[in-house]
Chains A and B, each alone.
Chain A
Amino acid sequence: MNNKLGEFEEIVLLLVAAQHEEAYGLSITKAIEEELQRAVTMSSVHTALYRLEEKGFVESHIGDAEGNRRGRRKRIFVITALGKKALHEARDARNHIWNMIPKFVLEFGH
Chain B
Amino acid sequence: MNQENHYKDPPRLADRFFDWYCYAPLRETISGDLYERYIDNIDRYGHKRANRRYWFDVIRFMNRHTLKRSRNSNIYNNNQIAMLSNYFKVGFRNLLKNRSFTLINVLGLSVSMAVCLVIILMINDQLSYDGFQTNRDRIYRFTHERLNSSVDLPLATVPLILADHVEDQFAGFEHLVRFKRNPGGEMLQDGKAILISGLYTEQSFFDMFSFELRYGNRETCLEQPKSIVLRNDVSEKLFGEINPVGKTLMIDDSVSYLVTGVLEPFPGKTHLQFESLTSMTGMTNTDWERSSEGWIYFTLQDGVSMEGLSPILADLSKEHYDDQSEYLIEFEIQKMTEITPGPLYGNQIGASMPNFFVIGLGVLAFLIIICAAFNYTNLSAARALTRTKEVGVRKVMGARKLQLTFQFIIESILVSLLSIIVAIGLLQILIPAFEGLQLSTLLDWDLTITPKAYFQFFLFGLITGLVTGLFPALYMSSFRPIEAMKNLLGTNKLSKVGLRKALIVSQFVITIVLIISSTLVYKQIKFMVEKDYGYTKENIINIQLQGQDYQILRTELQKLSFVQEVSGTSIIPNTGRSDDIEARRNIEDEPISFNFFAVDESYINNLNLELIAGDNFVFSQMLGEETTIIVNETGAKLLGFEQPIDAVGQFVTIDDEDKKVTIIGVIKDYNYQILYMDIQPMMLRYLPEDFEYAQVKLSGFDILNEITQIEEVWDAFDPNHELVFKTFQGEIDEFNAFFYDILYIMGLIAVLSISIAGMGLLGIAAYSIQTRLKEVSIRKVLGANVRTLVLLLSRGFIMLFGIAMVIGFTLAYLGNSAWLNGFAYRVSFGFDIFALTAITMILVGLLTIGFQAWKATFSNPAQTLRDD
Known A26-B36, A67-B36, A68-B36; judge A74-B6 contact (CB<8 A): no
Cα-based distance from A73 to B276 in the complex (angstroms): 81
Known A26-B36, A47-B63; judge A72-B29 contact (CB<8 A): yes
Cα-based distance from A55 to B128 in the complex (angstroms): 55
Which residues 1-39 of B sit at the A interface, judged by CB distance below 8 A?
1, 5-6, 26, 28-37, 39
Residues of the B chain whose Cβ atoms lie less than 8 Å from the Cβ of A50 = 65
Label chain A's interface by main secondary structure: mixed
Contact of A46 with B61 in the complex, beta carbons under 8 Å: yes
In-complex Cβ contact of B32 among A47, A51, A69 (8 A): A69
C-beta contact mask, A13-45 vs B, less than 8 Å → 1, else 0? 000000000001110010000000000011110
C-beta contact mask, B56-77 vs A, less than 8 Å → 1, else 0? 0100110101100000000000
Which residues 521-579 of B sit at the A interface, judged by CB distance below 8 A?
none
Cα-based distance from A70 to B65 in the complex (angstroms): 23
Contact of B29 with A74 in the complex, beta carbons under 8 Å: yes
Contact of A70 with B35 in the complex, beta carbons under 8 Å: yes
Cα-based distance from A9 to B19 in the complex (angstroms): 27
Residues of the A chain whose Cβ atoms lie less than 8 Å from the Cβ of B32 = 65, 67, 69-70, 72-74
Cα-based distance from A97 to B307 in the complex (angstroms): 82
Cα-based distance from A72 to B30 in the complex (angstroms): 9
Residues of the B chain whose Cβ atoms lie less than 8 Å from the Cβ of A41 = 57, 60
Residues of the B chain whose Cβ atoms lie less than 8 Å from the Cβ of A68 = 1, 5-6, 35-36, 39
Residues of the B chain whose Cβ atoms lie less than 8 Å from the Cβ of A65 = 32
Cα-based distance from A46 to B64 in the complex (angstroms): 12
Residues of the A chain whose Cβ atoms lie less than 8 Å from the Cβ of B36 = 26, 67-69
In-complex Cβ contact of B30 among A25, A51, A62, A67 (8 A): A25
Contact of B35 with A69 in the complex, beta carbons under 8 Å: yes
Residues of the B chain whose Cβ atoms lie less than 8 Å from the Cβ of A25 = 29-30, 33
Cα-based distance from A65 to B489 in the complex (angstroms): 72
Q: Is residue A75 contacting chain B, with contact meaning CB distance below 8 A?
A: yes
Q: Total contacts A to B, CB within 8 angstroms?
A: 63
Which residue of the partner chain A has the closest CB to B6?
Answer: A68
Cα-based distance from A43 to B60 in the complex (angstroms): 6
Contact of A42 with B1 in the complex, beta carbons under 8 Å: no
Which residue of the partner chain B has the closest CB to A51?
Answer: B65
Residues of the B chain whose Cβ atoms lie less than 8 Å from the Cβ of A72 = 28-29, 31-32, 35
Contact of B39 with A26 in the complex, beta carbons under 8 Å: no
Label chain B's interface by main secondary structure: helix
Interface centre among B26, B29, B60 (most CB of A within 10 A): B29
Name the distance in Å between B32's Cβ and chain A's nearest Cβ. 3
Residues of the A chain whose Cβ atoms lie less than 8 Å from the Cβ of B65 = 46-47, 50-51
Residues of the A chain whose Cβ atoms lie less than 8 Å from the Cβ of B28 = 62, 72-73
Name the distance in Å between A46's Cβ and chain B's nearest Cβ. 7
Residues of the A chain whose Cβ atoms lie less than 8 Å from the Cβ of B66 = 43, 46
Residues of the A chain whose Cβ atoms lie less than 8 Å from the Cβ of B34 = 42
Contact of B33 with A26 in the complex, beta carbons under 8 Å: yes
Name the distance in Å between A62's Cβ and chain B's nearest Cβ. 7
Name the distance in Å between A104's Cβ and chain B's nearest Cβ. 46
Which residue of the partner chain B has the closest CB to A71?
Answer: B32
Name the distance in Å between B6's Cβ and chain A's nearest Cβ. 7
C-beta contact mask, A65-100 vs B, less than 8 Å → 1, else 0? 101111011110000000000000000000000000
Residues of the B chain whose Cβ atoms lie less than 8 Å from the Cβ of A44 = 60
Name the distance in Å between A9's Cβ and chain B's nearest Cβ. 14
Interface centre among A41, A44, A69 (most CB of B within 10 A): A69
Cα-based distance from A69 to B66 in the complex (angstroms): 19
Which residues 139-177 of B sit at the A interface, judged by CB distance below 8 A?
none
Cα-based distance from A50 to B33 in the complex (angstroms): 15
Contact of A75 with B29 in the complex, beta carbons under 8 Å: yes
Contact of A24 with B29 in the complex, beta carbons under 8 Å: yes
Cα-based distance from A62 to B27 in the complex (angstroms): 12
Residues of the A chain whose Cβ atoms lie less than 8 Å from the Cβ of B6 = 68
Cα-based distance from A29 to B60 in the complex (angstroms): 14
Which residues 757-804 of B sit at the A interface, judged by CB distance below 8 A?
none
Which residues 406-452 of B sit at the A interface, judged by CB distance below 8 A?
none
Cα-based distance from A41 to B57 in the complex (angstroms): 7
C-beta contact mask, B236-274 vs A, less than 8 Å → 1, else 0? 000000000000000000000000000000000000000
Residues of the B chain whose Cβ atoms lie less than 8 Å from the Cβ of A69 = 32-33, 35-36
Residues of the A chain whose Cβ atoms lie less than 8 Å from the Cβ of B63 = 43, 47
Name the distance in Å between B183's Cβ and chain A's nearest Cβ. 74
Interface centre among A41, A44, A68 (most CB of B within 10 A): A68
In-complex Cβ contact of B33 among A42, A47, A62 (8 A): A42
Contact of A43 with B29 in the complex, beta carbons under 8 Å: no
Name the distance in Å between A42's Cβ and chain B's nearest Cβ. 6
Cα-based distance from A72 to B29 in the complex (angstroms): 6
Cα-based distance from A72 to B31 in the complex (angstroms): 7
Contact of A43 with B61 in the complex, beta carbons under 8 Å: yes
Cα-based distance from A46 to B22 in the complex (angstroms): 13
Which residue of the partner chain A has the closest CB to B2?
Answer: A68
Cα-based distance from A102 to B564 in the complex (angstroms): 103
Residues of the A chain whose Cβ atoms lie less than 8 Å from the Cβ of B33 = 24-26, 42, 46, 69, 74
Residues of the B chain whose Cβ atoms lie less than 8 Å from the Cβ of A29 = 37
Cα-based distance from A75 to B30 in the complex (angstroms): 8
Residues of the A chain whose Cβ atoms lie less than 8 Å from the Cβ of B29 = 24-25, 62, 72-75
Which residue of the partner chain B has the closest CB to A44?
Answer: B60
Residues of the B chain whose Cβ atoms lie less than 8 Å from the Cβ of A74 = 29, 32-33
Name the distance in Å between A76's Cβ and chain B's nearest Cβ. 9
Contact of A26 with B37 in the complex, beta carbons under 8 Å: yes
Name the distance in Å between A27's Cβ and chain B's nearest Cβ. 9
Which residue of the partner chain B has the closest CB to A63?
Answer: B29
Residues of the B chain whose Cβ atoms lie less than 8 Å from the Cβ of A24 = 29, 33
Residues of the A chain whose Cβ atoms lie less than 8 Å from the Cβ of B5 = 68
- For the complex of A and B, 5 pairs with smallest distance between CB atoms: A72-B32, A75-B29, A69-B32, A68-B39, A43-B60
Residues in chain A within 8 A of chain B (CB atoms):
24-26, 29, 41-44, 46-47, 50-51, 62, 65, 67-70, 72-75
The 29 sampled A-B contact pairs (Cβ below 8 Å) are A26-B36, A41-B57, A42-B33, A42-B57, A43-B61, A44-B60, A46-B30, A46-B33, A47-B63, A47-B65, A62-B28, A62-B29, A67-B32, A68-B1, A68-B5, A68-B6, A69-B33, A69-B35, A69-B36, A70-B32, A72-B28, A72-B29, A72-B31, A72-B32, A72-B35, A73-B29, A73-B32, A74-B29, A74-B32
- Taking A46-B65, A69-B33 as known contacts, 18 extra A-B pairs with beta carbons closer than 8 A to each other, sorted by chain A number, are A24-B29, A25-B29, A26-B33, A42-B57, A43-B60, A43-B63, A44-B60, A46-B33, A46-B61, A50-B65, A65-B32, A67-B32, A68-B36, A69-B35, A69-B36, A72-B31, A74-B33, A75-B26
Residues in chain B within 8 A of chain A (CB atoms):
1, 5-6, 26, 28-37, 39, 57, 60-61, 63, 65-66
